[in-house]
């Protein structure tokens, strides 16, 4: 799992827009209000990413793992 520049939609992935950089973190925003904003280490982003670009976080390889990890992510963010 990790972040990569947005390419094509994958049903087990979440897409975020890079809003800004704060110190050693990037502020990522998902269009889903239950996920909202998330801090992500800049070192874990593609080197050439710029503010306003989209990145995709692949969180699972199957639907069961996706649902479990998405609920966990929502709990961590909220």
pLDDT at residue number 19: 96
Would you place residue 59 in the very low, low, confident or very high pLDDT band (cuts 50, 70, 90)? confident
Give the pTM: 0.67
**Residues 15-57 pLDDT 10s:** 899 999 999 999 999 888 778 888 999 998 988 999 999 998 8
Contacts of 75 (CB under 8 A, 6+ apart): none
Question: Can you tell me the distance from the alpha carbon of 59 to that of 69, in angstroms, rounded to the nearest whole number?
Answer: 7
* CATH 3.30.930 corresponds to the domain 3-77: no
**What are the residue boundaries of the structural domains of the chain, listed by start?**
3-77
Closest among 37, 15, 7 to 25, alpha carbons compared: 37
- Range ranked top by mean pLDDT from 1-5, 14-18, 25-29, 59-63: 25-29
pLDDT at residue number 10: 66
pLDDT at residue number 8: 46
Tell me phi and psi for residue 12, to 5 degrees: -110, 25
């Amino acid at each position: 799992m990790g972040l990569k520049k947005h390419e094509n939609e994958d049903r087990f992935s979440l897409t975020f827009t890079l809003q800004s950089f704060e110190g050693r973190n990037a502020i990522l925003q998902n269009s889903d209000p239950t996920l909202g904003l998330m801090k992500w280490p800049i070192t874990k982003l593609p080197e050439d990413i710029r503010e306003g670009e989209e990145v995709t976080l692949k969180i699972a390889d199957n639907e069961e793992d996706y649902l479990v990890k998405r609920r966990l992510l929502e709990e961590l963010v909220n």
